[in-house]
Amino acid sequence: MSLQLERLYYVYSADTAIFSRPGRSVASKTIQHDGTDRMEQENSLRLLPFLLLIALLTGPADLEADSAVATLADDTTLYENFPDTNGGGDSAVCIGNAGTTANTRRALLRYTLPAIPAGSTVTRVEWALVQDSVRDMGAGPLPVTLVVRRVTSAWVEGTGSGPSSGPCGQGQAVAGVTWNTQPTVAGADSASTAMTTLNGFIALFDTNTGTANDGLIADVQAWVDDGATNFGWRLAVSEEGTADNSRRMEHGALTIHWKLPPIFADGFESP
């Protein structure tokens, strides 16, 4: 029989013995003090020291891993050549250069994380972004490298929407974050991936594949530990010095996997 199965917690009162597994809602068993039921209780009491000893010798046991999908909370586009306009009202975002290298677009995305218990360890992040369309004017279409950095200061999505060209256009002069007021970001990339020139291409980040995108785990873990620091991510292309490489992007699913904190033999979580 596995140690996980044997790590049961016993709570005893004068008349009953209740068996339960930590972290789960299971049916409890009550044993009365008479006849064979009394003998069963006495046998269980004899086993208790041995089970506790096994738990102490083997250390804490991690509870089952879990996962859930995060919800997009805010997204917007920043326009270098329209530095005071906001693009938070569009349903997609834009990155890259919409024409010359003075027409750079960057995007901000922030997700509301699922209800992850305090003390949990993030073990995997899966994130999909869909490339709706790629600029085909001038030197385009061109491949790029999508780079993701953690945002480290607050920003407001806004409701701006340009008169034409969608999120790769020019935005709107309304309240909300702009190129001139864009938030600070971390000094290193959290993730990066090559983008083709195909419309409909899906950029899929999975921290279980290689180590290049493991920064996403660190980012999400920081947000789990302190939700007040969740300012999301900035999307950009590494080739901001190249003209005509802009693309319209749609957010996909962000799936977070985590492991609950270990439980020690005394029934408490690790400190």
DSSP of the chain: --HHHH--EEEE-SS-EEEE-TTS--------SSHHHHHHHHHHHHHHHHHHHHHHHH--BPPPEEEEE-EEEEEEEEETTSTT-B-TTSSSEEEEESSSTTSEEEEEEEEEPP-PPTT-EEEEEEEEEEEEEE--STT-S--EEEEEEEB-S---------SSSGGGS--BSSSS--GGGPPPB-SS-SEEEEE-S-TTEEEEEETTSSSTTTHHHHHHHHHHH-GGG---EEEEES-TTSSS--EEEEEEEEEEEEEPPPB-TTS-B--
Share of the chain above pLDDT 70, in %: 73
Among 13-17, 206-210, 228-232, the least confident range: 13-17
Whether the per-residue pLDDT at 2 is higher than 90: the answer is no
Domain range summary for the chain, segments of one domain joined by +: 3-58, 65-259
Contact 223, 230 (CB under 8 A): yes
Strand 17-20 to strand 201-206: parallel, antiparallel, or no bridges (unpaired)? unpaired
Report residue 5's pLDDT band, with 50, 70 and 90 as the boundaries: very low
Distance CA(7)–CA(230), nearest Å, equals 36
Residue 36: what pLDDT? 53
Among 51-60, 189-198, 212-221, the least confident range: 51-60
Cis-peptide into 141, omega within 30 deg: yes
Residue 29: what pLDDT? 40
- The token pair that represents 24 in the structure block: 């789960």
Distance CA(190)–CA(233), nearest Å, equals 9
CA-nearest of 197, 196, 233, 202 to 107 is: 233
Residue 165: what pLDDT? 76
Contact 24, 64 (CB under 8 A): no
pLDDT tens digit string along 46-67? 665 655 555 455 545 445 589 9
pLDDT tens digit string along 120-161? 999 999 999 999 999 999 999 999 999 999 999 999 999 999
Burial class (CB within 10 angstroms; exposed 0-12, middle 13-18, buried 19+) of 34: exposed
Q: Which residue has the higher pLDDT, 1 or 117?
A: 117
Mean pLDDT of all residues in 11-19: 36
Residue 65: what pLDDT? 81
Residue 17: what pLDDT? 37
- The token pair that represents 185 in the structure block: 């970001």
CA-nearest of 202, 171, 192 to 81 is: 171
pLDDT tens digit string along 162-176? 877 789 999 999 999
